[in-house]
C-alpha cells in the first residue's frame, strides 16, 4: 500500500510530465468535472470577478484552451517550448474527500534558443478517484506574477 504522500507525489510528477511534453489533452483528463484552473496576476489573491488573471477558467475554458494549443496554429508555441518541471516542497492536508496540496515548481523552458526559468507555488484541491486523483482546483502563483512577462502560453 502506498502512502497518501506517495500517491500525491506520483500524481504531481505525472501532471508535470504531461505538461513538459505538451500532452495537453491528456493533461486535461486529470481535471475533475467541475474544476477551476487559476493563474493570478499582479497579486496572489483577490476577487477574480473584479480583477483580471493570467488565466481563470472552468472546465469549458480550459478545454477550449488545450484544444487551441493542440491544433497546431498557436504560433506563440510554434516552435514549442521545451520544458522540464521540478516539483518540490510538497505539503499535504488530508481532508478525506478533498486533499489540499501545496507544492513549489521550477520550470526550465527553452524556446527559440532562449532559456528561461519560471517558478512559483501551486495550490491543488484533489479528489480521490480510481486509486489516484482528479484536480478540482489548481491555483498556480508565479513568483513573477507582477513582473514583465514573456510568453507563458505553454501554461503553468
Partner 1 sequence: MTISNGRSIDYNALVKPDAVHGDCYIDPDIFADELKKIYGRGWVYIGHQSEIPNAGDYVRKWIGLQPVIFSRDKAGKYHVLFNRCTHRGASICQHDKGNVGGFRCEYHGWFFRLDGALQAIPYQEGYGDNFDRTQYNLRRPPRMDEYRGFVFASLSASGIPLREHISGPARQQIDYACDLSPEGELVVQSGATKLAYNGNWKLQMENSIDGYHPNFTHRSFISTLERLTGSKVEIFSGDAKTQSRDLGMGCSNIDSRRANSEHPHAQARLKMMQGTSWGKKYYDDLVAAHGKERAEEVLIVNGTHMNVFPNLVVLAGQVRTIQPISTERTEVYLRPSLLKGVPDEVNTQRIRQYESFYTTVGGGIHDDVEMFNRVHEGLRCNQDPWLVFRRGLHREQTDNDGTIFSQGTDETAQRGMWRHWKSVMQQDVN
* Contact positions vs partner 1 (CB under 8 A): 39, 41-43, 46, 48-57, 61, 64-65, 67-69, 71-76, 78, 112, 146-153, 155-156
**Rounded to the nearest whole angstrom, what is the least distance from the CB of residue 20 to partner 1 in the complex?**
17
The residue behind cell 475533475 is: 32
How many residues are recorded in the chain?
156
Burial tier of 155 (Cβ tally within 10 Å: 0-12, 13-18, 19+): buried
Least separation in angstroms between residue 133's CB and partner 1 is 23
Q: To the nearest whole angstrom, how small is the minimum distance from the Cβ of residue 120 to partner 1?
A: 13
Q: Which is nearer to partner 1, 2 or 149 (CB)?
A: 149
What is the spatial distance between Cα 109 and Cα 118, in angstroms, rounded to a whole number? Answer: 8
User: Could you tell me the smallest distance in angstroms from the CB atom of residue 55 to partner 1?
Assistant: 5
Nearer to partner 1, 27 or 133 (CB): 27
Judge whether 136 and 36 are in contact, CB under 8 Å: yes
Minimum gap (Å) between residue 2 Cβ and partner 1? 33
Yes or no: say if 104 and 117 are a contact pair by the CB < 8 Å rule.
Answer: no
Cα torsion 119, 48, 24, 123 to 10°: value is 50
Judged by beta carbon, residue 13 or residue 46, the one nearer partner 1 is: 46
* Residue 154 cell numbers, joined: 505553454
Q: Which is nearer to partner 1, 18 or 55 (CB)?
A: 55
Pick 39 or 126: Cβ nearer partner 1? 39
Amino acid at each position: 500500500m502506498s502512502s497518501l504522500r506517495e500517491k500525491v507525489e506520483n500524481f504531481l510528477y505525472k501532471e508535470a510530465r504531461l505538461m513538459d511534453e505538451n500532452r495537453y489533452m491528456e493533461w486535461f483528463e486529470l481535471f475533475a468535472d467541475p474544476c477551476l484552473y487559476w493563474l493570478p496576476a499582479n497579486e496572489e489573491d483577490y476577487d477574480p470577478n473584479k480583477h483580471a488573471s493570467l488565466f481563470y477558467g472552468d472546465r469549458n475554458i480550459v478545454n477550449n484552451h488545450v484544444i487551441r494549443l493542440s491544433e497546431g496554429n498557436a504560433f506563440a508555441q510554434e516552435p514549442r517550448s521545451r520544458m522540464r518541471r521540478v516539483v518540490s516542497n510538497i505539503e499535504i492536508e488530508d481532508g478525506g474527500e478533498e486533499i489540499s496540496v501545496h507544492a513549489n515548481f521550477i520550470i526550465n523552458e527553452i524556446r527559440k534558443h532562449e532559456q528561461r526559468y519560471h517558478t512559483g507555488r501551486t495550490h491543488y484541491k484533489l479528489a480521490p478517484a480510481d486509486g489516484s486523483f482528479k484536480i478540482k482546483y489548481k491555483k498556480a502563483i508565479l513568483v513573477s506574477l507582477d513582473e514583465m512577462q514573456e510568453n507563458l502560453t505553454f501554461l503553468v
